[in-house]
Amino acid sequence: MIHQYVTGFRDATADRVAFRASGISRGDGHYSGERIIFASLDYNEGGGFDLSSGTFNCPTTGTYFFTATIGSIDKIYIDAVLKIDGVVKMSLYAGFHLQGDNMSTAVTVARCRAGQSVWMEVTNGDHLGGWEAISGFLLWPDVASS
């Protein structure tokens, strides 16, 4: 009985994956086609996020939940996307606003295979607002990958 409990607990915690990276220097130039490189790795359960490249490498095959935030400054618009192995899964736009600064957040659910890469990329514009963030977590692993 205890063996089953311990084995079940170990199996339930084996696929814990979650991350959050945030911040850039306000007004840093990230130009069209460039990955967004974050200043801070706030959380990295499972070790999948590489701060130096701005890339999350899925350690476990399964269904993931991702969020992404961008900001624009000084009435300048910016577009960004979240990509999985180069395929756009989500788009964000922070645009011209009469008050100056603007933000956009989007979420998506996607299936990822172990080893696939996830990142944010600027698609239009060149001045991020400094509030950029990406986060994600494994909702559930594929049964076959456990």
Q: What pLDDT was estimated at residue 12?
A: 58
Q: What's the total number of domains in the chain?
A: 1
Residue 6 lies in a domain: no
Q: What pLDDT was estimated at residue 98?
A: 59
**Strand 18-22 vs strand 62-72: parallel, antiparallel, or unpaired?**
unpaired
Structure confidence by residue, pLDDT tens digits, 98-144: 566 677 899 999 999 999 999 999 888 766 667 789 999 999 999 86
Range of the domain at 120: 16-141
pTM: 0.83
User: CATH number for the domain including 20?
Assistant: 2.60.120.40
Task: Give Cα separations from 106 to 1, 46, 48, 80, 98 (angstroms).
Answer: 45, 23, 21, 11, 22
Residue 8 lies in a domain: no
Residue 97 lies in a domain: yes
Residue 34 lies in a domain: yes
Residue 146 lies in a domain: no
Q: What pLDDT was estimated at residue 130?
A: 72
